[in-house]
Amino acid sequence: MTYENLLFEIKNENTALITFNRPKALNALNQALMAEFSTALDRIREDTSIRVLVLTGAGEKAFVAGADINELATYNALQAKRFSMQGHAAISKLQALPLPVIAAVNGFALGGGCEIALACDLIFASAGARMGLPEITLGIIPGFGGTQRLPRLIGANRAKELIFTGRMISADEGREMGLVNQVCPDLDLMETVLKTAAVMAEKGRVALRAAKEAVNRGLNVDLASGCEIEIDAFSLCMASTDAREGTRAFLEKRKPCFKGSFDS
């Protein structure tokens, strides 16, 4: 499939790379881009050869600089609700992918761009990246999940400060807050991200899926319930050929070759 607003590539055999590709508009999000993004996520979910997804932005200035204000400014309340629902649906689909997702933030990640990054499992940022939720400066609020995911990641008070002021933060400040996993020199960002993706892609697909699901589901329940989620996920992993291969490889002192399937 060809895309007008995205680039879709496969790196290192099993890492998918989606590049938001509207560089003249700083990769701003409009309805067409979000529809293509949703379709691309469906493609990734269906392709069992893909072990890791990386997201980044075209050009040197932006990951995604937010919503396309030219389009946003024309919306009435009903159109705005539809756009918000479209964004929530795509970003929820992103977060629910049964594989690790890394945001390679290579510039501005503002508004919807920041909200996309928040739904990823890891955020790697270039040294010059800037992140934030500046919607308040337009007289609106984040509409793609920012008021919900940011507090869960960095705490309510810090999230309120950023949302209420619309302040942008540097990659280093994002790391200090727990928002960013790693800050890389600008020219080294993609190499670092793809190396990390390759390390993850070598692991068992069943275990990666189970680990992600256990963490994400456990965040929304009490500790005892979370531990029950882990118990179930652990036991299901043991039903996989990956677990049999991993334990056998350890005992035989060799590198495992994971296939990512369950026994029949």
- Candidate from 2-6, 241-245, 258-262 with smallest mean pLDDT: 258-262
**Is 228 marked active-site?**
no
Confirm if 77 and 42 have CB atoms less than 8 A apart.
no
The token pair that represents 105 in the structure block: 């933030």
Each residue of 59-72: pLDDT tens digit? Answer: 989 999 999 999 99
Annotated catalytic residue, options 36, 46, 71, 135: 135
What pLDDT, in 10s, does the model give residues 208-221?
Answer: 999 999 999 999 89
Per-residue model confidence as pLDDT tens digits over 142-182: 999 999 999 999 999 999 999 999 999 999 999 999 999 99
Q: What integer pLDDT is reported at residue 13 of this predicted model?
A: 87
Sequence-distant (≥ 6) Cβ neighbours of residue 10 within 8 angstroms? 16, 17, 50
pLDDT at 28: 97
Domains and their CATH numbers in the chain: 6-201 (3.90.226.10), 205-251 (1.10.12.10)
Let me know if 135 is a catalytic residue.
yes
Catalytic: which of 4, 71, 115, 213? 115
- The number of residues in the chain equals 264
Which string of b and e fits 115-152 if b means at least 16 CB within 10 Å? bbbbbbbbbbbbebbbbbbbbeeeeeebbbbbbebbbe
